Amino acid sequence: RREGYEFMVGPPKVINKRVNDELLEPFE
């Protein structure tokens, strides 16, 4: 989601797991 994308501005993997906790999709 775009909301998670903003959080990905920092660590892409660590934040990716928290923001995508409901999606659980790998945004590499």
- Helix H, strand E, coil C: the string for 6-24 is HHCCCCCCHHHHHHCCCCC
Cβ–Cβ under 8 Å, residues 18 and 27: no
pTM given for the model: 0.13
What confidence score (pLDDT) does residue 16 get? 55
Q: What is the pLDDT of residues 1-28, one digit of tens each?
A: 556 556 556 666 655 555 555 655 655 5
Of 3, 25, 9, 5, which is closest to residue 17 (Cα–Cα)? 25
Kindly list the domain boundaries of the chain, sorted by start residue. Answer: 1-28
What confidence score (pLDDT) does residue 20 get? 55
Q: Which amino acid is at 9?
A: V
